[in-house]
Chain A
Amino acid sequence: EDQVTQSPEALRLQEGESSSLNCSYTVSGLRGLFWYRQDPGKGPEFLFTLYSAGEEKEKERLKATLTKKESFLHITAPKPEDSATYLCAARNTGNQFYFGTGTSLTVIP
């Protein structure tokens, strides 16, 4: 069964304290691993797409990496404005997307 699991469910960081969010996936033939940011009351906002193991992408303080079983979202020196829920999703060969339940990140000034 295709599924995506994210951990931790919630994470509290001090401003400037770097950390990583995990996304473990089991899908039949990965055709993309997607990261989204979701603020309260808004729809998910696209961040990154990764397609193959070893691939990395960066945007400001965020870097996403991919292995054959999981993806990490590394947050370097976070700021309070990085507080949000981060969702990952995996797309399989049937063009179906499976979302995790998200990691709620709180960055304390």
Chain B
Amino acid sequence: EAGVVQSPRYKIIEKKQPVAFWCNPISGHNTLYWYLQNLGQGPELLIRYENEEAVDDSQLPKDRFSAERLKGVDSTLKIQPAELGDSAVYLCASSSRGESTDTQYFGPGTRLTVL
């Protein structure tokens, strides 16, 4: 079974430029998460989707960040414009609904460097 796929793996951009990250979750997983992870820190949730609906986006900086999950499968996270402080690893995770099966499986992440 294929895991969570993310692309690109690395991205270097100048500040004020836009950037987008893509995520393809594990087949059949209805819940999708975007996390931000700074060096030496644990993942911090940006947004959580249940199918197409964003059910928790309270930590998403909506002035510059946006996300979408069309058709309840793939998802895209966008930053526009990027700032120096956005340099981090952006992780995507997915899980299937259910008390005993709600384990998150993570992708490899996208390492963003803003110059």
Contact = CB atoms under 8 A, between A and B. Distances in A.
Counting contact residues on chain A (CB < 8 A from B), the size range is 20 to 34
B44 interface: yes
Contact of B104 (A31, A34, A41, A51): A34
Contacts of B108: 41-43
A42 B111 CA distance: 10
Interface of B: 4, 33, 40-45, 48, 56, 91, 93, 99-100, 102-109, 111
Nearest to A34: B103
Contacts of B45: 96-97
Interface of A: 4, 31-32, 34, 36, 41-46, 49, 51, 87, 89, 91, 95-97, 99-102
Nearest to B35: A99
B40 A101 contact: yes
Contact of B42 (A31, A46, A91, A102): A102
B102 A43 contact: no
A49 B100 CA distance: 9
B109 A46 contact: no
A32 B43 contact: no
A36 B107 CA distance: 13
Contacts of B43: 44, 87, 99
Nearest to B4: A43
A89 B37 CA distance: 14
